[in-house]
Amino acid sequence: MTAPPEGFRHLPGHFPPDAQASLLEAVRAVVARAPLYVPTLPRSGKEMSVRMTNCGALGWVTDAARGYRYQATHPVTGEPWPSIPGILLDLWAEVSGYPHPPEACLINFYSATAKMGQHQDRDETDFAAPVVSVSLGDDCLFRIGGTKRTDSTVSLRLRSGDVAVLGGESRLAFHGVDRIYPDTSTLLKNGGRINLTLRRVTKP
DNA sequence: GAGTGTCG
DNA sequence: CCTT
């Protein structure tokens, strides 16, 4: 594939450095109440390489016993997820083209060696809304294909402050993160990458 | 056989 | 290739 699928939009540098710092502060406040944990895959129970948490009414979680799902509480603490920071609600209103607020914001932390295999975001009931993604920290190599696993893919480098929107055909496109480029950003003192994905889960 | 796995 |  020479071009990303229809409906995919990459907005490089959407957030300037000061806004990235504000986002990071908001993420830290979420993580203080909803700690990062190690998700495990359905069936195999294999640990994923990313560390994960959420904010919003619903959070995406996975474990060996119950598989992929959305739930209102943190799987380790049992507490409700913190609310989605205003700056992210504003982003959603600006770029989603969807007239209702997001319900979930998945927060993935990638160490220098973390990866995310090709997958579809398909645990939501409402695919009319796009998935809106924000990158913070080190650059990554993001790869996106079509709605079939065998479709050809394109790779692009996502940098801190970039926003990506998966709408239209690309809403159900296979995508993943092949690698992190260490020490390409100074936003996170200890390196790594944070990805925020905003999603509408239920039909309004 | 499939996988939000791993490895090359 | 490994695991369920």
Nucleotides on strand C lying under 7 Å from protein C-beta: 2-4
Cβ–Cβ under 8 Å, residues A53 and A35: yes
* Residues packed against strand C, CB within 7 Å: A 43-46
For tokens 């998935």, the residue is A131
SS (H, E, C) A68-112: CEEECECCCCCCECCCCCHHHHHHHHHHCCCCCCCCEEEEEEECC
Domain ranges in chain A? Answer: 8-199
Q: Is the pLDDT of residue A120 over 70?
A: yes
| Backbone dihedral angles phi then psi of residue A140, each to the nearest 5 degrees | -135, 160
For residues A167-187, average pLDDT = 96
Question: How much is the pLDDT for A44?
Answer: 87
Distance A120 CA to C4 C1' (A): 21
Distance A5 CA to B8 C1' (A): 28
Question: How much is the pLDDT for A43?
Answer: 84
For residues A17-44, average pLDDT = 96
User: Which band of pLDDT confidence, cut at 50, 70 and 90, is reported for residue A2?
Assistant: confident
Distance A60 CA to B7 C1' (A): 28
For residues A165-186, average pLDDT = 97
Q: Which residues contact A14 (CB under 8 A, 6 or more apart)?
A: A91, A95, A134, A161, A162, A163
Report the C-alpha gap between A47 and A186 in whole angstroms. 28
Q: Name which CATH class applies to A8-199.
A: mainly beta
Strand order in the sheet with A154-158: A116-119, A175-181, A139-144, A154-158
Distance A199 CA to B1 C1' (A): 30
Closest nucleotide to the alpha carbon of A43, via C1': C4
Which residue, counting CA atoms, is nearest to the C1' of nucleotide C3?
A44
Cβ–Cβ under 8 Å, residues A7 and A130: yes
Token pair for A159: 């940098």
Distance A85 CA to C1 C1' (A): 43
Report the C-alpha gap between A137 and A97 in whole angstroms. 26
Q: A115: Cβ under 7 Å from strand B? A: yes
Q: Is the pLDDT of residue A3 over 90?
A: no
Q: A42: Cβ under 7 Å from strand B? A: yes
Closest nucleotide to the alpha carbon of A176, via C1': B4
Distance A99 CA to B6 C1' (A): 41
Cβ–Cβ under 8 Å, residues A109 and A192: yes
Q: Is the pLDDT of residue A124 over 60?
A: yes
Q: Is the pLDDT of residue A1 over 60?
A: no
Distance A96 CA to C1 C1' (A): 41
Interval A65-104: pLDDT, tens: 899 999 999 999 999 999 999 999 999 999 999 999 999 9
Q: Is the pLDDT of residue A61 over 80?
A: yes
